[in-house]
Structures are given as structure tokens and as C-alpha cells.
Copies of this chain bind each other. A is one copy, B any other.
Amino acid sequence: MTTSTEENYLKAIYHLSTGNQNSVLTSAIAGSLSTSSASVTDMIKKLSDKNMVEYERYRGVKITRKGEKVALSIIRRHRLWEVFLMDKLKFKWDEVHDLAEELEHVSSDEMTRRLDAYLGFPKFDPHGDPIPDTNGKVHTNGQVLLSDIIKKGKYILCGVNDHSPSFLQYLEKKGLVPGSVFSIVEMDEYDNSMQIIFSNKKSIFISKEISKNLLVRNHE
């Protein structure tokens, strides 16, 4: 039995772990959950007792396979609910996160399976993040940061790294949502900004600040 507090910690630890081999530091978890380091230390001990994380005092934690499985099942539920809120209840992509944060803790494997089926087995959530499958496998599809792109060409936006409503609203206003196809027409060597153009000929500037948070894939 995991409480929703434990689930939130595991999710945070999982997210802080991905793409980085090192231990996750107490302060990082505290920052991510807006809580005190003292509280984090307490919870870490509890999760360590349950073999959800490996804990070394003063050195941080590493999530275990067991902890990771729990985290992935929460993330799966979170993202499925986000799809539901957007596709069925017509919320906008910048509005779904907070509600999903609550819904993800309603735990029933059977309900999750049925929700998945009802939504048509979606593979990505409204922000372009992959939805882990029943076994906790995450299917990513070679997406890369727009800021890492070095050659001009046609790309498709598949996701974002900054999930804040303000950023999402900004993108939407610019016409950038998951699935948007555009071509890079100009890349500035000096400030790493770029100019892109949509199929409808509308063209916009993208600063490094922005492109660092955009996940794209080559589009044929």
C-alpha cells in the first residue's frame, strides 16, 4: 500500500532520475515538491524501508526497480487522465495538469485499463509525453531538443519540457502545439535564436530560452 504522498515523492524522484545516472539529492526533491529538506529526509527513510529507493545518508537516493514500477504506474494514470480531460472534457492543454495530479491517485488497475481502452490506447499525453504501458514500458520516439538541432529542415513538435500554464499558453498563441509541423529557415550563430515557418507561411522567431523546452522530431 502506497499513500498518495508516497506516490508524489516517488514520481518526483523518478523524474529527477531520468537522463541522469547520479543519485537524487534531498534538496532537489525538496525543491521539486516545494517542501522542506527535513520532510524529504523523513519520507526517504520510509521509502527506503519499503525498498522503493536506495538511500545513503548525506548522499541522496537512487530509485529501485520496485519504486520505478510504482512511479511509472502513477505517471501512466496521470497522462491518461490528462488525455481524458483534454479529449473528452475539452479542457485546454495548459489546464489539465493540476486535475490529473489529483486523479492519478485514484488507484484501480481495472479502471486504468478501461480508461485506456476508452481513450483509444493513446501513446502520448497532451504535452507530447509518452504514456507508459501496462508493464511500465515507456516508448519514446527519438525526439530531441529543438535547441540541439544543428541543421535546417522540416520538423514536427512532439512535446515540451516546461509544463507551466504560462509557457503552454505562450506556445499556443504562437501556433505551436504537439503535432505542429514547421521548417527552420534561419539559425542565428550568435544568440542561438531561430526563425521557423509553418505550412501556412506564418513565420515566427524562437529564442534559445524557448527552443530549450521544445521536443521535436524530423518530419520526412
A residues adjacent to B (C-beta < 8 A) = 85, 88-91, 99, 102-103, 106, 108, 111, 114-115, 118
Contacts and interface: CB of A to CB of B under 8 A. Distances in A.
Contacts of A89: 111, 114-115, 118
A103 B112 CA distance: 13
A71 B80 CA distance: 29
Interface of A is mostly: helix
B106 A99 contact: yes
Contacts of A108: 99
A102 B85 CA distance: 17
Contacts of A85: 111
Contacts of A90: 114
Nearest to A85: B111
Contacts of A91: 111, 114
A172 B89 CA distance: 31
A115 B85 CA distance: 9
14 contacts: A85-B111, A88-B118, A89-B111, A89-B115, A89-B118, A90-B114, A91-B111, A91-B114, A99-B106, A99-B108, A99-B111, A103-B103, A103-B106, A106-B106
A33 B108 CA distance: 22
Contacts of A102: 106
A90 B88 CA distance: 16
A106 B102 CA distance: 6
Nearest to A81: B106
A53 to B, nearest CB: 26
Nearest to A115: B89
Nearest to A113: B89
A107 to B, nearest CB: 8
A85 B108 CA distance: 12
A110 to B, nearest CB: 8
